[in-house]
Structure 1
Amino acid sequence: MEDQGIIRLYLQRSQQAIVETKNKYGAYCRVIARNILPSNPDIEECENDTYLAAWNAIPPNLPEKLPVFLGRITRNIALDKHSYNTAKKRSREFEVILTELEECIAGPATVETEYEAGETAGLINQFLYGLDEQNRNLFIRRYWYADSIKELSREFKMSSSKVKSILFRLRNKLRSHLKQEGVDL
């Protein structure tokens, strides 16, 4: 079924919308969750929570790109679940990804910094649009979809050390770009 048909089902409040969403995007949502969460029950819970969140969000929201909309919901739910799971214990795989970006981006800690966080997001987008397609895809796959170095090496047909080196250089470029634009790191 086409995405517009699925969205129409959501607007009609038909439960078939969830079935069609699962059929078309279930594997996609599970991959995103699996890159962040280690356990199958958590991944399943995250996938199901994504369908519920989509049900509650459509309407009033009408997503232009359904897979991006679902991916964002899945990622946010998985990150929340990861935070909950690791509140007292650290050193899981996803922690490595977060620490890689730690030097470049400080998380918003107060209400006053929410505006700056939005501005920083715009600057990051500007930085990403300035990259060639391969580097942009590597960066996004690592830091948005949380793909492992091994997966990226296989997907981009590069050695692990080359992927690590490219990501290191990209993080340094991002840091320089943000400093140049006046972002305090």
Structure 2
Amino acid sequence: MTDDKILDLYWGRDETAITESDKQYGKYCYSIAYRILSSHEDSEECINETWLNAWHAIPPQRPGKLSLFLGRITRNLSFDKFRANRTAKRGGGEIVLILDELNECVPSANSTEQVILNQELGKTINRFLQTLPDRECSVFLARYWYSYPLRAISAQFCMTENNVKASLFRSRKKLKTYLEKEDITL
């Protein structure tokens, strides 16, 4: 079924929209959740919450790209679940390392002002990504959007792990410079 037909089902408040979303994007969303959470049960829970959140968000929103919309919901829910697990002393692994790597160039979201600016920050980062060469952008997204481990990225892009680390380091440095030029307080 096409994205437009699935979206029409959501707009018509037809519950088969959830079934069709799961058929079309369930594996995709599960892979996002599992890479962040490393838990089958938690990933399944996030997928179910994804469909519920999509049900509540459509309408009024009508996403241009349903896969990205659902992927973003899954990713955000997965990070929320990860933080909850970590607070409960059950988290760890690759995500902690990824967040630490980004921490040096992305401002903290602890203040109320920063929470308000998060949407603008996201737009700024998207503009930054458009300035990167395709391969560098893909490596950056593989690590910081899809949460791939370094070994998987090096295999996917036929690079050594050291080259991946160097590329990510340079990209983070460029991001920091870009954010400073955009007057984003670090």
Same fold (TM over 0.5): yes
Q: Which residue in 2 is equivalent to 1:40? A: 40
- Structural RMSD (CA): 1.5
Return 142-151 or 78-87, whichever deviates more. Answer: 142-151
CA distance in structure 2 between the aligned counterparts of 1:166 and 1:38, rounded to whole angstroms: 25
State how far apart, in whole Å, the 2-side matches of 1:142 and 1:16 are. Answer: 34
Percent identity over the alignment is 43
Q: TM-score, normalised by structure 2?
A: 0.92
2:156 corresponds in structure 1 to 155
1:170 positional shift: 0.8
Q: Structure 1 length as normaliser, TM-score?
A: 0.93
Instruction: Out of 150-159 and 77-86, give the one that drifted further.
Output: 150-159
Determine the structure 2 residue equivalent to 1:179. Answer: 180
Q: Could you tell me how far 1:149 is from its partner in structure 2?
A: 0.9
Q: Secondary structure at the match of 2:87?
A: coil
CA shift, 1:115, in A, is 4.3
Question: 1:7–1:127: structure 2 CA closer, same or farther, 3 Å change rule?
Answer: same
CA separation in 2, counterparts of 1:139 and 1:22?
28
Q: In the alignment, which residue of structure 1 is the partner of 2:27?
A: 27
After TM superposition, the structure 1 stretch with the greater mean CA deviation from structure 2, 68-77 or 13-22, is: 13-22
Q: Kindly provide the amino acid, as one letter, of the partner of residue 135 in structure 2.
A: Q
Q: Deviations over 1:154-181 (max 9, x none)?
A: 2112111111111011111111222233
Change (3 A) 1:184 1:12: closer
1:113 is aligned to 2:108 = no
Whether 1:164 and 2:151 are equivalent positions in the alignment is: no
Q: Which runs of no fewer than 5 residues in structure 1 stay unpaired?
A: none
The one-letter amino acid of 1:120's match is L
Find the aligned partners of 1:30 and 1:175 in 2 and give their Cα distance: 31
- Matching residue of 1:124: 125
1:18 positional shift: 1.1
CA distance in structure 2 between the aligned counterparts of 1:159 and 1:97, rounded to whole angstroms: 18
Shift in Å at residue 55 of structure 1? 1.1
The aligned length equals 185
1:11-26 superposed matches below 5 A? 11-26=11-26
Listed one character per residue, the Cα deviations across residues 15-59 of structure 1 (whole Å, up to 9, x for unaligned) are 211111111100100111011001100011111111111111111
Residue by residue over 1:86-129, the C-alpha shift from the partner in whole angstroms, topping out at 9 and shown as x without a partner, is: 01436422100000000101222222233443443333222211
Equivalents in 2 of 1:184, 1:110: separation in Å?
Answer: 12
Question: What letter corresponds to residue 140 of structure 1 in structure 2?
Answer: L
The 3 A distance-change label for structure 1 pair 91 and 20 is closer
Q: Which residue of 2 aligns with 1:83?
A: 83
The whole-number CA distance in structure 1 between the counterparts of 2:97 and 2:168 is 13
Structure 2 residue runs of 5 or longer lacking an equivalent are none
Distance in 2, matches of 1:57 and 1:181, equals: 31
Q: Which of structure 1's runs of 4+ aligned residues deviate more than 6 A?
A: none
Q: Which residue does the alignment assign to 1:52? A: 52
